[in-house]
Structure 1
Amino acid sequence: MLNTVREQFWDAGYAATSLEDLMRVSGLGKGSLYAAFGDKHQLFLRALRSYTEEIHASLRRTLAEAPRAVDALRELLEAPIHARVRRGCLMANSTCELGNADPEVLDHAHRTYETTTEVIGDCVARAQREGDLPAGVDPMALARAILAAQQGIVFMGRTGVDSATLTATARSLADQLLSARSVD
């Protein structure tokens, strides 16, 4: 049920999702919805937290299971192209919509991006140990650059850029960010 609520917020955004929408997708009446989750804001935060928990678990698994870390990082840049890119990232969408007005969303976004950066940074360090990235590169700085590049791909997809252009862009970014040559 939380997944269907999350899908509603993801499709319509927080402000455009009405209580009636939430009752329809959850199958709960107004009283049951409030008893189970509190108000709309608390339900939204719970849906957002469940989304980021799933994203982090999937990211950890994908990066850890890749035979070579550098290949996993390349795939991370292309991942939005294969996903439902037109909807974008629920966390990024929510931050854009609510971040300036909602300190709880902003705090969650900050913690989410820091966790994501740490997970990617661990993969960068692994790629360094495997000899595919220079040892002198700061794993966290490169992880932030990879995350920023990936979110840029997501944004470009939301604007309607075609898959071929997104793929070429992601590969160009990967070539630039994940080069084995030493960075001066």
Structure 2
Amino acid sequence: MARPRAFDEKQVLNAVRDQFWDAGYAATSLADLMRVSGLGKGSLYAAFGDKRQLFLRVLTSYTDELLGHLREALAEAPRALDALRTLLDAPIDDSTGAGPRRGCLMANSTCELGNADPDVLDHAHRTYEASTALIADCAARAQREGDLPAEADPIALARALLAAQQGLVFMSRTGLDTATLTATARSLAAQLLPDHTGG
């Protein structure tokens, strides 16, 4: 009979995620993974597979959580337009606790591995498409609420907002000060989400 695992899988995955997030995939060694997880090589590989399999597992867990947070944030806002504007504040005032200078694990991983690993690139594409669909649904709600012009294309707006948000994330990683990031976010919001109601 197989012995039950004597570790918390979620805790291990979170520790491994933070290691990959801070150092990147290539710079993370097996020794690093063993150190942060508290597991030996045999236990680590038996539970999660090799380094690449473990990384893909972490990436999937991260993006599932990311999409869940996005879905909740967009759905819970009293008005859809406010939720859309909040998207541009996220890289500056990060409620996840990750810290804006850390960037997005999905974006970081795509930059590092997208050209070399088709699975990472495919995962990034699917994640951004799912994000676009959620944001577009919110934009359509803002149209129904009368806060966005009826003729606006929700998908096009969603892609523009996502591109703006990711741009802010990248700028934050360069060390740009918070005041400048905030001013830039407000400028983007004014251009992409103007208040056409006059309120």
Q: With structure 2 as the length reference, what TM-score do the two structures score?
A: 0.90
Which secondary structure does the structure 2 equivalent of 1:80 belong to? coil
Q: How many residues align?
A: 182
Query: How many Å separate the matches in 2 of 1:180 and 1:135?
Result: 13
Does the 8 Å contact 1:134/1:180 carry over to 2? Answer: no
Output the CA distance in 1 between the equivalents of 2:80 and 2:186.
Answer: 16
The answer (yes or no) to whether the contact 1:146–1:177 under 8 Å persists in 2 is yes
- For residues 121-179 of structure 1, give each alpha carbon's deviation from its aligned partner in whole angstroms, at most 9, with x where no partner exists: 11101111110001111101100000000000000000000111101100110110012
**What's the counterpart of residue 65 of structure 1?**
76
Percent sequence identity over matched residues? 77
1:130 aligned partner: 145
Superposition RMSD in Å = 1.0
Q: Which residue of 2 aligns with 1:107?
A: 122
Aligned-pair CA distance for 1:181: 3.8
Partner residue of 1:156 out of 171, 174, 182:
171
State the shift of 1:180 in Å. 4.2
The corresponding residue for 2:45 is 34
Q: Which has the higher helix share?
A: 1
The gaps in structure 1 that reach 5 residues or longer are none
Name stretches of at least 5 consecutive residues in structure 2 with no aligned partner. Answer: 1-11
What TM-score does the superposition give when structure 1 sets the normalisation length? Answer: 0.97
| From 5, 14, 34, the counterpart of 2:25 | 14
Larger radius of gyration: 2
User: Partners of 2:155 and 2:195 in 1: how far apart?
Assistant: 17
* Equivalent position amino acid for 1:63 in 2: L
